[in-house]
C-alpha cells in the first residue's frame, strides 16, 4: 500500500517535471522506478523542498541549474547521503563570507552550491593526506583532488572521487558562475561563490597543507578552468 502511494506521488511530480524538462525526466522516471520506496520518497522530498524554497521564488534559478539539481539526485549514492550536511550558515548577497574559518553560503546561491560550501566547512579540521578521499568520500584526511571531489559529491555533482588529471576534463570548459575548478597535473583547487578552497596556502607555500578556505588570491596560470554544467 505504502509503495503504491509513493509511486503515485512520484508519477504526479514527474508528470510536472516532464512538462518542464522534456525527455530527460522520462529517463529519471525509468531509473527511479527501479529503486525502493524510501529512496523514491527522499528524491521527491528533496526536489519539493528545493522547488518551494522561498529564496528560489525571490531569486529564480536558471532551468539548467534546476535540472542539474534534479539529476544530482540520481548521481549521489544513497549510501553517502548521511555523510554530507544539508544545512549550514548563510549570508546575504551572492558571495560566500568567511567567518572564523567557516564559510557562509550566499542566500542567492542554488542549493547545490550551498551544500558544497557546507561540506567544505566539514573538512577544515582534516589533515592533508596524499591519496586521501579517493577510496571513499569519507576519510581521515584529504589531498587536493580528494577535497574537491568531496564537496562536488555533497552538491550531487560527482558520483565517485576523481584525480587532478581527470578534473581537467570535468564538466564544461571555462569559469562558472558559482563554481570554478582549476586543475593541472598534480594539483586542483576551486573557487566556490568567490572563496578559494585549496589544500596549499599559496603564501610562498608557507603554512600547513590541509583542506581549507583560503583568503589569498592564487593566480590560475597553468591550470585548466572547468565548471559543473549549469553552475
Mean pLDDT score of the chain:
75
Q: Which residue has the cell 549521489?
A: 76
All structural domains of the chain: 2-82 (no CATH), 90-227 (3.90.1720.10)
Q: How many CA atoms lie within 13 A of 92 on its CB side?
A: 0
Secondary structure of residue 98 in the 3-state scheme = strand
pLDDT exceeds 80 at position 77: no
Contact 40, 46 (CB under 8 A): no
CA distance 116 to 121: 9
Q: Give the pLDDT of residue 156.
A: 94
- The pLDDT tens digits for 5-60 are 344 444 444 444 433 343 334 333 334 444 444 444 444 444 344 333 333 333 34
Cα separation, 159 vs 39, whole angstroms: 16
pTM here is 0.66
Lowest mean pLDDT among 27-36, 126-135, 217-226: 27-36
Q: What are phi and psi of 195, to 5 degrees?
A: -110, 145
Amino acid at each position: 500500500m505504502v509503495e503504491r502511494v509513493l509511486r503515485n506521488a512520484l508519477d504526479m511530480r514527474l508528470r510536472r517535471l516532464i512538462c518542464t524538462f522534456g525527455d530527460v525526466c522520462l529517463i529519471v522516471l525509468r531509473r527511479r522506478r527501479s529503486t525502493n520506496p524510501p529512496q523514491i520518497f527522499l528524491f521527491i522530498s528533496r526536489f519539493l523542498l528545493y522547488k518551494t524554497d522561498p529564496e528560489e521564488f525571490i531569486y529564480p534559478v536558471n532551468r539548467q541549474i534546476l535540472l542539474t539539481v534534479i539529476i544530482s539526485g540520481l548521481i549521489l549514492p544513497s549510501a553517502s547521503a548521511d555523510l554530507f550536511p544539508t544545512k549550514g550558515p548563510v549570508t546575504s548577497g551572492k558571495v560566500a563570507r568567511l567567518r572564523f574559518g567557516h564559510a557562509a553560503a550566499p542566500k542567492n546561491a542554488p542549493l547545490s552550491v550551498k551544500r558544497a560550501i557546507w561540506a567544505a566547512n566539514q573538512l577544515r579540521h582534516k589533515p592533508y593526506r596524499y591519496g586521501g578521499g579517493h577510496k571513499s568520500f569519507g576519510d581521515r584526511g584529504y589531498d587536493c583532488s580528494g577535497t574537491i571531489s568531496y564537496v562536488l559529491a555533497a552538491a550531487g555533482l560527482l558520483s565517485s572521487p576523481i584525480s587532478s588529471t581527470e578534473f581537467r576534463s570535468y564538466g564544461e570548459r571555462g569559469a562558472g558562475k558559482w563554481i570554478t575548478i582549476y586543475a593541472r597535473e598534480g594539483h586542483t583547487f576551486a573557487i566556490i561563490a568567490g572563496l578559494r578552497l585549496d589544500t596549499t596556502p599559496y603564501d610562498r607555500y608557507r603554512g600547513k597543507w590541509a583542506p581549507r578556505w583560503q583568503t589569498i588570491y592564487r593566480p590560475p596560470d597553468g591550470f585548466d578552468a572547468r565548471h559543473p554544467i549549469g553552475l
